[in-house]
Structure 1
Amino acid sequence: MSGALSHRENIIRNEGSAFPGKTYTEVVLAPSYDEAKQHLLGPMMAINKAQLIMLTEQHLISPEEGGRIAEAIRSLDLQTIRSSQYSGEVEDLFFQVERELLERAGDIAGNLHIARSRNDMSIAMFRLALRDKLQTALSSVLSLKDQLLEFAAEHAETLMIGYTHTQQAQPTTLGHYIMAVVDSLNRDMRRFANAYRHLNQSSMGAAALTTSGFNINRDRMRELLGFDELIENSYDAIGGADYIAELMTVTQIAAITLGRFVQDLLLWSTQEFAVLRVSDPYVQTSSIMPQKRNPVSLEHLRSLLSSCVGNTQTVLTMIHNTPFGDIVDTEDDMQPYAWRSLDLLDKLCRLLACVIGTAEVNKEKLRERAVSSFATITELADTLVRTDGLSFRKAHHIASKVVKMALSQGIGAHEVTLGLVNEAAYEVIGKPLLIDETKLVLSLDPDYFVAVRSLPGGPNPREVRRMIAERKLQHDEHLSWLNAAKEKSLQSYRQLDWIVADMARQGR
């Protein structure tokens, strides 16, 4: 017992006997303070301003008191706070700001916390911070999408082989491929817009979890902070975490899709593929091999997109199996991972847009491969259905045998003769085919293959250009929505500053 007591005394001697303990400060409080002062101070001050305005309008604070608090808020040196270190004199950033307001306005500044808890305030701060970061990230997503649309338009007729299961499949165009990536980003934007709607809701007025007996105006707080909707149920306001889970899931999907795209770009950049040449600003050399031209920008994109996915997964994992209520698992410790994921998405979309916008494509090599490959053989089977009235399965067997025979003779698709096709037909159906030389040549021509696939969504260049034009209209809609969301947020911040400045002037 005495040994255990001595051990306890030793911990107290090193850690201290009052809040905060040395190790607790090092592991939790100081890092949390550093994150908060960088990311949450702005949202915190916006909420303080909105709370002051609302309380004054509801006559819970007199105009004179409101003026004194307004002057105190405006006199805070936010840059000094952002540069400060955690001292342990107060618990967190909230109490640090409150203490400075009390020093400037006196005890009346404590009334700023009427009908408010750190619970509803923290959730609102998190939502405001995420809102701003999401707007920034989506600007870069849209810039990347715009760059991809330009790239697709440039390569609407750039013939290439499409791959399935990493094997040559059918001819398509680079523009058609890129539009698939664009459409994935379009879906991401719709998912992000939905997540934004659920994110941009106000928790203020929920207080600890049951609202308050004070006659506050929750909807006015929503309006002042630029939120679109109110989280009506006060317990949901402080306990629900699906807003961030949804946002992280959407971010994860976007990062995974972009990572898959980058993987293709890296493969195309190899000497063996020799399709994509990354521009000089985005390659690095070897310290020992002079010939090396390493597209490391793409490698960094791939690895950091994986890091983005990891951050989103950390958020989802930290929420998993937590109590449905106010708890730190969904708050101070978790939020930075969400911020990092959005910051990464922003930066990586900007970098990828630069790499794509300056890359060179070896169109000749792509065409050469498409012409000599057997990627067109599906069209031969289709043509035999039309010319000879065969079932597709029979036509497929003949075309398959043509490929095997040609490969055994070491010839490419463009060298296949009508005699070879009829030889294959004899083995399958026991008679020659009606197809003539002209139709045979067309059926093995990759340009013809692409041209006849003009159904909606196909690689026919006219169809690709139609899709590009339509997607540009969708892009403009997404951009207009985002610009309106940004403007609403900025206007709410400006309005807070104007009203508080006016209150301070009237209170002098």
Structure 2
Amino acid sequence: MAFSSSDDSVFPDPVYRETVLRPLFNGARTHHAEGFRAIDEAHLLMLADTGILDTDAASRIASALEAIHREVDPTTLAYTGEFEDYFFLIEAELKKRVGADLGGRLHTARSRNDIDHTLFKLSLKTHIDRLAEKLTSALGALLDKAEHERETIIVAYTHGQPAQPTTLGHYLGAVAEVLLRDIERLEAARMIVDLCPMGAAAITTSGFEIDREEVAALLGFERPLENSYGCIAAVDYVTATYAALELIFLHLGRPLQDLQFWTSFEVGQVYVPNAFVQISSIMPQKRNPVPIEHMRHLASQTFARARGMLDIMHNTPFTDMNDSEGETQQAGYAVFETGGRVVDLFAAFVTSIRIDDRHVAANIRRSCITITELADALVRREGLSFRQAHEIAAATARSVVASGGDLGSDGYAPFRTAFEASTGCEPGIDTELFEEIVSPENFVAVRARFGGPARESLDASLAGYRQTMNDLAEHARRRGERERRANEERRTRFSRLARGN
């Protein structure tokens, strides 16, 4: 079926209008109306301050813009096709009130190119800050839980098999450490977003003596983005942001996989409270910790959406292009929506779970996972090489596992036999010392090296993570205060200009 307009000389073609222009208009009025207003205000103040516009002309434009923003509710606007997009609708409304000549002067020394990327950055900063606040809250919850569970023994797994004992606090500290680096990566992206494109105009700035620093400051940016070509071509603020988001939710999915495994009936290491458990509609015995599945698939959706933003930027020309604008930016906001849900649920869920000590003890007993410390103790106490000590420990573990026994209470006899067979002499380790050496508490306590699970090592790590988290939060607070003051200054100055004083 062919689609065509009745008059191919009239813009816009009806199909283009419905498939492109209407969605872009709706997206702009929904996501960027306040950004347009802020840019108009900052740009007009700069034009007046630099003398590009005289004060009387700037005051009349400001007064009209104030009236437009009082009287025109963007949420009620419907796209008619009369104007190409939201920008031209507002410009037409301004011209209607002050005349075409004066109304057209507001656009002096600027372009849709620098306006658009500034709009997108203003919106993106808000989205990043909201998610960063959630991530920091989740990090704080992780650290609180890690501190509370610093001595709670768990089984650590490698290759899906019981490996060594550690503590829940040590495990959560590792998760927190990765999340902290993820927040730092997002903060690095936020610094790129905080560079203002205004003043780049279409590509090469302007012949007018504009003040880019003033506009950037009035809009709450750290400073202008320097190279004017890069202002409209370098979409690394998009790629940096969504690459950071992609990694956050890739990394978050990994402990979720562990939680799924640890809550299984056969492992039973983690107990999930009833508030996070759904029952089966047919099997009364089932306790389904489905929030883990929801977090997992929402994290995957978030990851995929973030990856999609990078894919859209792939093999695009280094110039102004629609690929990085409008609908692409709006698609990216869904990353923050699903991502925020995952982070909130993760923080609440991890805070609520507890370790089932009985299952942990049973799994340690069945798996002999403290046997590494026996080998280490033989090196330290008996002067054996680690290889010889490892062979004695392995023989001991094989015997205990074969008999279905417990390493602490049933392991001394096979240990003594293996030791004497390997060395030709009796061990200096007696039954009582043997039981102490192979206890999970001793295993953790002697691992007091930097980054280890022992209480003093873990406390130092968690304190360092918390300090870094607090430093990042303070930096974000100061930046938010700077942006708040900038917005207040812009609004105050603009209102005075609109009143003619």
TM superposition score category, shorter chain reference: over 0.9
**1:197 is matched with which residue?**
191
SS of 1:163's equivalent in the other structure is strand
TM-superposed deviation, 1:14: 7.3
For these two proteins, the number of residue pairs brought into alignment is 499
- Which of 68, 75, 82 is equivalent to 2:75? 82
- CA change 1:360–1:63 in 2 (3 A) is same
Mapped to 1, the partners of 2:273 and 2:118 lie a distance apart of 44
- Which of 169, 175, 183 is equivalent to 1:175? 169
- Which of 75, 86, 97 is equivalent to 2:90? 97
- CA change 1:15–1:458 in 2 (3 A) is farther
Asked whether the 8 Å contact 2:409–2:435 carries over to 1, the reply is: no
- CA change 1:360–1:446 in 2 (3 A) is closer
Gapped regions of structure 1 (runs ≥ 5): 1-6
- Which of 13, 23, 35 is equivalent to 1:43? 35
Mapped to 1, the partners of 2:302 and 2:411 lie a distance apart of 53
- Which of 233, 242, 245 is equivalent to 1:239? 233
Which is worse superposed, 243-252 or 368-377?
368-377
TM-superposed deviation, 1:23: 3.0
User: What TM-score does the superposition give when structure 1 sets the normalisation length?
Assistant: 0.93
**2:334 is matched with which residue?**
340
**1:266 is matched with which residue?**
260
- CA change 1:320–1:373 in 2 (3 A) is same
TM-superposed deviation, 1:131: 0.7
SS of 2:327's equivalent in the other structure is coil
SS of 2:299's equivalent in the other structure is helix
Across the aligned residues of Structure 1 and Structure 2, the Cα RMSD in angstroms comes to: 2.1
**2:485 is matched with which residue?**
491
1:298-337 CA-to-partner distances (Å, cap 9, x unmatched) read: 2111111111111111111111111101011122232123
Mapped to 1, the partners of 2:244 and 2:38 lie a distance apart of 27
Which is worse superposed, 246-255 or 483-492?
483-492
The residue correspondences of 1:19-418 to structure 2 (distance < 5 A) are 19-77=11-69, 80-107=73-100, 108-418=102-412
**2:497 is matched with which residue?**
503
TM-superposed deviation, 1:359: 3.0
Mapped to 1, the partners of 2:326 and 2:80 lie a distance apart of 18
1:445 maps onto 2:426 in alignment? no
TM-superposed deviation, 1:445: 0.5
Asked whether the 8 Å contact 2:408–2:434 carries over to 1, the reply is: no
1:237-261 CA-to-partner distances (Å, cap 9, x unmatched) read: 1110112211111111111111112
TM-superposed deviation, 1:280: 4.1
Asked whether the 8 Å contact 1:115–1:216 carries over to 2, the reply is: yes
TM-superposed deviation, 1:209: 0.3
TM-superposed deviation, 1:460: 0.7
1:279-309 CA-to-partner distances (Å, cap 9, x unmatched) read: 4444333333334333222211111111111
1:420 maps onto 2:414 in alignment? yes
TM-superposed deviation, 1:13: 4.9
1:476 maps onto 2:476 in alignment? no
Asked whether the 8 Å contact 2:175–2:255 carries over to 1, the reply is: yes
Asked whether the 8 Å contact 1:279–1:355 carries over to 2, the reply is: no
Mapped to 2, the partners of 1:47 and 1:220 lie a distance apart of 12
1:393-452 CA-to-partner distances (Å, cap 9, x unmatched) read: 111122112212222222132233332013223554555433332332122110000001
- CA change 1:503–1:367 in 2 (3 A) is farther
User: What TM-score does the superposition give when structure 2 sets the normalisation length?
Assistant: 0.94
Asked whether the 8 Å contact 1:16–1:22 carries over to 2, the reply is: no
TM-superposed deviation, 1:71: 1.8
Which is worse superposed, 138-147 or 245-254?
245-254
Aligned amino acid, residue 88 of structure 1: G
Asked whether the 8 Å contact 2:30–2:74 carries over to 1, the reply is: no
Mapped to 2, the partners of 1:432 and 1:275 lie a distance apart of 38
- CA change 1:261–1:103 in 2 (3 A) is farther
- CA change 1:500–1:356 in 2 (3 A) is same
Which is worse superposed, 483-492 or 153-162?
483-492
SS of 1:206's equivalent in the other structure is coil
- CA change 1:282–1:420 in 2 (3 A) is closer
Asked whether the 8 Å contact 1:161–1:171 carries over to 2, the reply is: yes
Gapped regions of structure 2 (runs ≥ 5): none
TM-superposed deviation, 1:77: 4.3
Which is worse superposed, 260-269 or 109-118?
260-269
Mapped to 2, the partners of 1:469 and 1:364 lie a distance apart of 30
Mapped to 1, the partners of 2:374 and 2:12 lie a distance apart of 77
Mapped to 2, the partners of 1:115 and 1:280 lie a distance apart of 62
Which is worse superposed, 251-260 or 353-362?
353-362
Mapped to 1, the partners of 2:98 and 2:273 lie a distance apart of 58
Mapped to 2, the partners of 1:474 and 1:47 lie a distance apart of 35
Which is worse superposed, 487-496 or 236-245?
487-496
Aligned amino acid, residue 100 of structure 1: E
Aligned amino acid, residue 376 of structure 1: T
SS of 2:215's equivalent in the other structure is helix
Identity of matched residues, %: 34
TM-superposed deviation, 1:204: 0.8
